[in-house]
Amino acid sequence: MSPSIGEKLRIRKYKYRAGSISTLDSLDFARYSDDGNRETDERVAVLEFELRKAKETIQALRANLTKAAEHEVPLQERKNYKSSPEIQEPIKPLEKRALNFLVNEFLLKNNYKLTSITFSDENDDQDFELWDDVGLNIPKPPDLLQLYRDFGNHQVTGKDLVDVASGVEEDELEALTPVLGNLPPSLETPQTVENSLLVQKLEDKISLLNSEKWSLMEQIRRLESEMDFLKNEHFAIPVVCDSVQPSLDHKDSEDTGQNPVINSSDKEKDEDIHLSKSDEVDSSIPKENFPSSLPRREREEMPSSSPSSKNTVHFDKPNRKLSPAFHQALLSFCRMSADSRLGSEVSRIADSEKSVMLMLGRCLPHIVPNVLLAKREELIPLILCTACLHPEPKERDQLLHILFNLIKRPDDEQRQMILTGCVAFARHVGPTRVEAELLPQCWEQINHKYPERRLLVAESCGALAPHLPKEIRSSLVLSMLQQMLMEDKADLVREAVIKSLGIIMGYIDDPDKYQQGFELLLSALGDPSERVVSATHQVFLPAYAAWTTELGNLQSHLIPTLLNKIEKLLREGEHGLDEHKLHMYLSALQSLIPSLFALVLQNAPFSSKAKLHGEVPQIEVTRFPRPMSPLQDVSTIIGSREQLAVLLQLYDYQLEHEGTTGWETLLWVVNQLLPQLIEIVGKINVTSTACVHEFSRFFWRLCRTFGKIFTNTKVKPQFQEILRLSEENIDSSAGNGVLTKATVPIYATGVLTCYIQEEDRKLLVGFLEDVMTLLSLSHAPLDSLKASFVELGANPAYHELLLTVLWYGVVHTSALVRCTAARMFELLVKGVNETLVAQRVVPALITLSSDPEISVRIATIPAFGTIMETVIQRELLERVKMQLASFLEDPQYQDQYSLHTEIIKTFGRVGPNAEPRFRDEFVIPHLHKLALVNNLQIVDSKRLDIATHLFEAYSALSCCFISEDLMVNHFLPGLRCLRTDMEHLSPEHEVILSSMIKECEQKVENKTVQEPQGSMSIAASLVSEDTKTKFLNKMGQLTTSGAMLANVFQRKK
């Protein structure tokens, strides 16, 4: 098997490095022990001297070899070769080795690796990695490509010469003339005489061209003065004459005496640079003053790649009505950098040869030390200036290609620098060249393997958007970004795509692209990456909403479409709502609230009166919710904070005194948006905490944005009309249906919490008290009230308010209301600090625990259990323990089946997480007693129910560490009592209990031999693998509740 390409390369590299490696290995480093600095320094000096002598020897040998090589061919033969060039001189060995080296270098550079390996195998006596191996005492020549390109610059033989018009630079002639003049008389051959005549002709031509140059410069001065005059007269002549400006724009040529060469190969026209008086300007210049070799067409189409500093570039202005503040905030996402030294260089494009030289002088000191390291961004100013001013399109394309490929994987700072340069380039050259030269570079790298390069493309599309023709913005660039959004797998790239799409949406003015933009918006909102969704809300959605507002589609299409999609989700989600899509659409609606409010202000009856004069009122800091992005700031959308302040003052006055008559945009919000939203709220599942929270946040932002007057006069009345809170509406059979829906928690937490003045808090307290009363008296489910307490309880600012509501229930005359209040304490205990628990919660629960109604006392047990689970204060725990003990030991509760059931369920829930002492001294012993009592139960249904709850409690507690004494005295006896019940009532449970008892007994017997390891759980240490398998198999056959199954494997947190 022949070796692979990689193996051959490694073999070659090893073969030619072996000599140097062996030389290094031959050094006896053992002699140079660390005996002190002096000995080391002396040894280093000796080695340096030996090395220097070796290098001198090598140089001398190479010089001798080179001299010998030159004398290999006899002198007479060399004369024959010189006199007869058609006779080819034989190649010398050293020439062959040099050419071999250059050929191999060419093959490697151009990826002919296999050919290179074959070539090196055929020349195995030569090391192709070191030029010194060639043996010549000369520096390495340029590569083959450079030699080929440079060939035309050398002297050619006489038989190849033809008569052509020649152009020689003046300084070259000045340098040549003294040499010709100093020739000895013996060398004045006919060839010499002919050269002298040629020199004389060239000198005459130089004189003619110099006079012509002065004439043209005079014309330029006159035209410049005319241009200034016409500008003052408001004539639109941005450029005087492109035909002479590039060649004679600089005064350098006056000092050097050189004749500038006009390159007419580039005939691109900048479509945005117009000469409104071009014919008059051309006619004002005498034609005889122009070189005869320059036709009129070429004079009119001089290359626009070297514009003067006087050229003005015009960009397409979008037919939009966005405020300058919004545009500025939108463009801030381009992430350009011009406040650093290098950023300043990049953004300051040179516009003349002199400026280029100055810029090179500033940049080269930074390039030289950094170009070989990771500082290639230092090259960006050079590349950009050259790309701007170079006359050849191919060279410009190559330079821009180098710019986009300058860094293999550009980091964030390097990409910002490249983007800054691209924008500076675009501002300098205009939209036509941006489309023709920069966009192809982006398109080429749209599928690059490195995400950093694709990220650069995505960011470039947004940064260049203001500098592109409007047709390209809405077609090619939009399509590029759409493709990247749909296909790119990198989150960072798609995030940059979204931001660029937002910028595009701020400049696009083609209404036909509206639907495409909406589809892109839905795709972006549904993206799996949080980064992409966040960028959508911050940039894309506000920019799209601004365009939608201008088109008049915000209230007619965008918001109604999102609402319809939410309603469709609720209709289809009766058996399983897609909460992710609901969040997607609702969050989009929430982000549209600032745009909707801005539309209401801008179309208000008072909008024409909003003039900035006199003292502008201040806007309260808390007037609006904090925006997610500057583009969602209402003041940015309106134009300025001062303008918004004036509009808000007129808005509040209009609502309070003049009403909404004729105010179509606000009437749409009141009569269409709010009723549809309230209807949707009534359809969502009240037990879905996420949905309730989402809609609560939406209504909170809506009310805070539209203001307190709007909330009190337009929003609250619509909710109150639907809820109709009065005891007259109580239906004892079915309950007040709307009070059981999500309308209650969303109204309480989304609308009534918008403002926190005393009257607002009183309204919230009264509403919750009424809901608790009505739900209790109508025997309706308490889910809506629980959802309100959970949502409000997450904010400590509302704990006091909720305790006030519950105390109202504690002292209520109805036992049903008191029972509801007792159950609500369980939800509140976990979030309230222990001080409030001690001062407000426990006293209220103890009051209820002595209630005349047994149902109220039983309802307090879950709350007491939760306190045992969450509180660490010893005094509180003792008070709760005493109260629970009174329930268990008081003779009046001996036959209270409901109370026993509630206590067992509470013990199973809080036991694994409760304080260990409480669990060992109270929970497990009392479970043993309850199991003993249940053996005496006569009614089988009650006995099975208690036994089932006991089984769940013991399953949960088996995950805790239980001491040997507790195991022997209470845990095992309780399990045996439970097994007795299950033998008659549930044989499948009995099998599992027998296995658990057997393993516990075996473990107790072995404890004298094997010490328990730490606090390992009984479930893990007592049950063997076989028993676990049987246990799990049996559990799968049971029909007990899911809560029991979950508690079996619940560990202590």
- pLDDT tens-digit map of 635-666: 999 998 988 999 999 999 999 888 888 899 99
Top-confidence residue, 406 or 581: 581
Cβ partners under 8 Å of residue 143, min gap 6: 102, 105, 106, 109
Give residue 712's pLDDT: 93
Give residue 94's pLDDT: 78
- Kindly list the distances between the CA atom of residue 392 and the CA atoms of 196, 250, 262, in Å, as whole numbers in the listed order: 36, 20, 12
Give residue 71's pLDDT: 54
Secondary structure of 522-535 in the HEC alphabet? HHHHCCCCHHHHHH
Give residue 362's pLDDT: 64
Give residue 597's pLDDT: 95
Give residue 606's pLDDT: 87
What is the tens place of the pLDDT at every residue in 192-213?
Answer: 666 777 777 787 778 777 767 7
Give residue 479's pLDDT: 92
- Inter-residue contact 243 to 302 (CB < 8 Å): yes
Amino acid identity, residue 166?
A: S
Q: Which DSSP letter does residue 473 get?
A: I
Q: What is the mean pLDDT of residues 786-808?
A: 92
Top-confidence residue, 447 or 1017: 447
Q: What is the mean pLDDT of residues 316-331?
A: 84
- Inter-residue contact 458 to 493 (CB < 8 Å): yes
User: Residue 897 pLDDT > 90, yes or no?
Assistant: no
Of the chain, the percentage scoring pLDDT greater than 90 comes to 26
What phi and psi, each to the nearest 5 degrees, are found at residue 94?
A: -70, -35
Give residue 927's pLDDT: 84
What is the tens place of the pLDDT at every residue in 584-622?
Answer: 999 999 999 999 999 999 998 888 887 777 677 788 888
Q: Is 504 exposed, middle or buried (0-12, 13-18, 19+ CB in 10 A)?
A: buried
User: Residue 762 pLDDT > 60, yes or no?
Assistant: yes
- Inter-residue contact 639 to 646 (CB < 8 Å): no
Q: Which DSSP letter does residue 654 get?
A: I
Q: What is the mean pLDDT of residues 440-457?
A: 91
User: Residue 274 pLDDT > 50, yes or no?
Assistant: no
Q: Hunting for tokens 């390109």 — which residue is that?
A: 149
What is the tens place of the pLDDT at every residue in 908-942?
Answer: 888 888 888 888 888 888 888 888 887 877 777 88
- Inter-residue contact 919 to 961 (CB < 8 Å): no
* Alpha carbons 600 and 597: distance in angstroms, whole number: 5
pLDDT band at residue 6, thresholds of 50, 70 and 90? very low
User: Residue 340 pLDDT > 90, yes or no?
Assistant: no
- Inter-residue contact 287 to 466 (CB < 8 Å): no
Give residue 719's pLDDT: 92
Least confident range of 77-81, 303-307, 314-318, 960-964: 303-307
For residue 157, what are its two tokens?
């033989």
Please state at what angle helix 541-551 crosses helix 514-525, rounded to 10 degrees: 150
- Inter-residue contact 438 to 460 (CB < 8 Å): yes
DSSP characters over 991-1021: HHHHHHHHHHHHHHHHTTTS---TT--HHHH
User: Residue 122 pLDDT > 50, yes or no?
Assistant: yes
* Alpha carbons 563 and 200: distance in angstroms, whole number: 89
Top-confidence residue, 768 or 572: 768
Q: Is 382 exposed, middle or buried (0-12, 13-18, 19+ CB in 10 A)?
A: middle
Q: What is the mean pLDDT of residues 712-716?
A: 93
DSSP characters over 220-249: HHHHHHHHHHHHHTT---S-S-TTTHHHHS
Among 716, 797, 796, 805, CA closest to 756: 797
Q: Please tell me the chain's helix, strand, coil percentages from 3-state DSSP, rounded to the nearest 5.
A: 70, 0, 30
User: Residue 154 pLDDT > 80, yes or no?
Assistant: no
Q: What is the mean pLDDT of residues 470-490?
A: 91
Give residue 726's pLDDT: 58
Top-confidence residue, 752 or 81: 752
Q: What is the mean pLDDT of residues 92-111?
A: 86
Q: What is the mean pLDDT of residues 489-502?
A: 95
pLDDT band at residue 245, thresholds of 50, 70 and 90? very low
Q: What is the mean pLDDT of residues 30-56?
A: 66
Q: What is the mean pLDDT of residues 1005-1031?
A: 48
- Inter-residue contact 999 to 961 (CB < 8 Å): no
Least confident range of 6-15, 29-38, 114-123: 6-15
Q: What is the mean pLDDT of residues 1020-1027?
A: 44
User: Residue 267 pLDDT > 80, yes or no?
Assistant: no
| pTM, to two decimals | 0.63
- What is the average pLDDT score of the chain? 75
Give residue 528's pLDDT: 93
pLDDT band at residue 87, thresholds of 50, 70 and 90? low
Among 973, 971, 941, CA closest to 953: 971
- Inter-residue contact 569 to 582 (CB < 8 Å): yes
